[in-house]
Structure 1
């Protein structure tokens, strides 16, 4: 089993109670940076138990697809949103996703350090997005807090975060980077598919 999937499977039962799923003030900014609009098809990579799904639904998206390596996290998400037709969850590696039907927005919220192959992720997001559409990588805390937290995480589960200006450089090969946020309370970069 993948180390990242195992790490989150082991924490799935306590995830909701840990406060990791609470709605916070930066989540609306995440939607704005991804330019999520009514009628969009949104892909949420590293969705966990679906913390962003209520915001997508409030934005009246046509569909929201959550993808996570952890089958246990996806099971919780499916239970929370069962009966909501616009929502689907897939337990899979994002790098294995079908690219036949590209999305209007790709969101990676509170999950980016757990994507270990960043160059492959950039290429995959590029192929999963429609031309001219946006992605966002974001965290509800600053990089220093995230990196301190991830020091206790086993090797191979997290890669940590560099400054948003540095981290986004890899993405510039395929995207026009339009926003960089690197504060103690919020970390994000976003861009448009070239």
Structure 2
């Protein structure tokens, strides 16, 4: 089960995934950090938004304007149902070209389903959708490699670049690294990157 099966898998298990997805909001501290640096009006692009619970719902509660993007149609349908005040778009994040910019871009537990080469290409997508000073936050692995995980009992592909390559890609695309915590014990072991688009970036 490689990266090419991710969208069909999530389409198939969307309802079970939504039921089983933890709602404790262990991500809260990181989401608050992202919102704290996002310039007003805090328009957030949530890439790989899934069913919208709990992350997009929390962002909306914090008065952010959320646009959720997911390539799985069943996930977009759930997102629309669960977060009715948000914009929902079905699209592939790898080729996304909305023609507008956001004050924060989030790829939480989504970007890491892409193969290494597609992850490299995502940094141009991040740059094309961020305003100067915007926040960028994503999760990845803590070291280079590929592993298999599970979503609603189904195997799913994960990949990561080396942390130094992520740093180089952020810098090359106009982002300043603000915080990096590998396997954060306060966030269920997630490896999290938080960056900001430089004001002088094109």
What band does the TM-score fall into relative to the shorter chain?
0.7 to 0.9
* Equivalent in the alignment of 1:64: 66
Closer/same/farther in 2, CA of residues 110 and 31 from structure 1, 3 Å limit: farther
Deviation at 1:36, TM superposition (A): 4.1
Inter-partner Cα distance in structure 1 for 2:81 and 2:48: 17
TM-score by length of 1: 0.80
In the alignment of these two chains, the number of paired residues is 182
Q: Unpaired runs of 5+ in structure 1?
A: none
Q: Deviations over 1:130-155 (max 9, x none)?
A: 0121100137xx759x94626x976x
| Cα contact 2:39–2:134 (8 A) shared by 1 | no
What pairs up with 1:90-169 in 2 under 5 angstroms?
A: 90-116=89-115, 117-138=118-139, 143=142, 147=147, 149=149, 158-162=157-161, 164-169=163-168
Q: Within 2, Cα distance between the matches of 1:153 and 1:123?
A: 30
TM-superposed CA distance for 1:100, in Å, is: 2.5
Q: Which has the higher strand share?
A: 2
Q: 1:103 to 1:126 in 2, by over 3 A?
A: same
TM-score when scaled to structure 2?
A: 0.77
What's the secondary structure of 2:7's corresponding residue?
A: helix
How much does 1:59 deviate? 1.6
The match for 1:42 among 24, 37, 44 is 44
**In the alignment, what sits opposite 1:11?**
13
CA RMSD of aligned residues (A): 2.7
Answer whether contact 2:112 2:119 (CA < 8 A) is retained.
no
Corresponding residue SS for 2:157: coil
